[in-house]
Structure 1
Amino acid sequence: MNFHAQIADSAREAARIAAGTGQDRLDGPTPCADYDTRTLVNHLVAYTGIGMELRARREPHPDDLATRDFTADPQWARHYAEQLDRSVAAWADPAVWEGEIASMPAEGTAAMLFLELCLHGWDLARATGQDYRVAAATAERLLAAVREYGEMYREYKGFAEPVEVPGGAGDLETAVALSGRDPYWAG
């Protein structure tokens, strides 16, 4: 199933949140216990910006991708938004959704990139005092992906144990809680 519209929606939101992240906020805490804001931004840019396009093109990640400090460039947020546009465009090709990427069905690779984009986009929004807003269809797809891949992510320490889902929680809050994050984290 191609969910390109939800990838595009979450990419627009990640770009908006990045644009609202000042250099003065990069040393603060995030909902990801192992990441300060700078580390989170660098992870987000590496894997959901550059990495998402490379996966669509079936090209390997550069050896130094995980260690680059994208935030050293004061224009990192603009460059990230431009890269997200290229990544979203790469996934617009229906042929990208066929076959395998890195020994996994292309749709599964897309789902894991989508999880990174949404959840770390949410993390960055929370870390910088911004709201995270995506369409209902995007939140619904996120929840489905968290349910499908949650155990695997926990096995590899990508997710913590699920947090209790608050009563009346929507799809976004439920997805966040099931990924091991406090949906109401405020620093």
Structure 2
Amino acid sequence: MIADRYRARADAFEKKIANVRSDQWADPSPCAKWTALEVVDHVIDMHGVMLGHPIPRTEDPLTDFREARRQVLDALTSDRATSEVSTPAGPMTLEDHVDQVVSDDLVLHGWDLARATGQDETIPAADVERLWAGATSVPAELMERFRTPGAFGPGIEVYGAEVPVPQDAPLQARLLGYVGRDPVSKSS
């Protein structure tokens, strides 16, 4: 189940990378201070964090992402998947850590990449519901830490400051606002 969810999300993210034109890599993303390329670099870096080693890089973001996803899928389909790892949220299995961090990142940063490069920004409803349930169940003191830049290490900010979104807005817009993205403004 976790490997299947990761695979589907990685497929969607890879498709977005493949659809970025060469002149769009420097375009700003909804993540403050990040370009479209830096969003992809972050996702690849986080794959390496999950695996405990950096992902080798080339000059091609698509090639690099494919290598990162190959390595994560190898880990998710091996005995290593159920091994315990230390995380900022406490010990958990590698597969749970991948599911809660890098797999969810593929969804949110997929939206960021789509927004930055003019692609379809629709997040699958099942992913929206799952991420909403997860984000809104985080205790307030932990959410404050999630929103504090550097709380989990230099340059790491899990969520940005909440962006107000009307309560009657679609759940995708409320999710994006809750995790610190402006679902309306194209110039976030």
- TM superposition outliers: structure 1 runs of 4+ over 4 Å: 92-95
Q: Is the 8 A contact 2:40 2:61 kept in 1?
A: no
By how many angstroms is 1:92 displaced?
4.2
1:29-81 superposed Cα distances (whole Å, 9 cap, x missing partner): 11011212222221122214x444x1xxxxx224xx6xx8x5x61x3214413
> How many pairs were matched up?
172
Tell me which of the two structures has the higher relative contact order, counting C-alpha pairs closer than 8 angstroms and 6 or more residues apart: 1
The DSSP-based 3-state class of the residue aligned with 2:135 is helix
Superposition deviation, residue 100 in structure 1: 3.3
Q: Which residue number in structure 1 is paired with residue 53 of structure 2?
A: 61
Tell me what 1:176 maps to: 176
SS in 2 for 1:42: helix
TM-score w.r.t. the length of structure 2 is 0.74
CA distance in 1, matches of 2:137, 2:22: 35
Q: Identify the range of structure 1 (3-12 vs 85-94) with the bigger mean alpha-carbon deviation.
A: 85-94
1:80 corresponds in structure 2 to: 65
Aligned Cα RMSD in Å?
A: 2.8
Unaligned runs of 5+ in 1: 55-59
Q: 2:102 aligns with which of 109, 113, 120?
A: 113
Change (3 A) 1:18 1:140: same
* Alpha-carbon distance in 1 for matches of 2:147, 2:72: 26
**Is the Cα–Cα contact under 8 Å of residues 30 and 36 in structure 1 kept in the other structure?**
yes
Q: CA contact under 8 A between 2:163 and 2:178: conserved in structure 1? A: yes
Q: Provide closer, same or farther for how the CA distance between residues 9 and 17 of structure 1 changes in structure 2, counting only shifts above 3 A.
A: same
CA contact (8 A) 1:6 1:141 kept: no
Are residues 164 and 148 of structure 1, via their aligned partners in 2, closer, same or farther at CA, if it must alter by over 3 Å? Answer: same
What is the match of residue 57 of structure 1?
none
Distance 1:11 1:185, change over 3 A: farther
Relative to 1, partners in 2 of residues 1:11 and 1:133: Cα closer, same or farther, differing over 3 Å?
Answer: farther
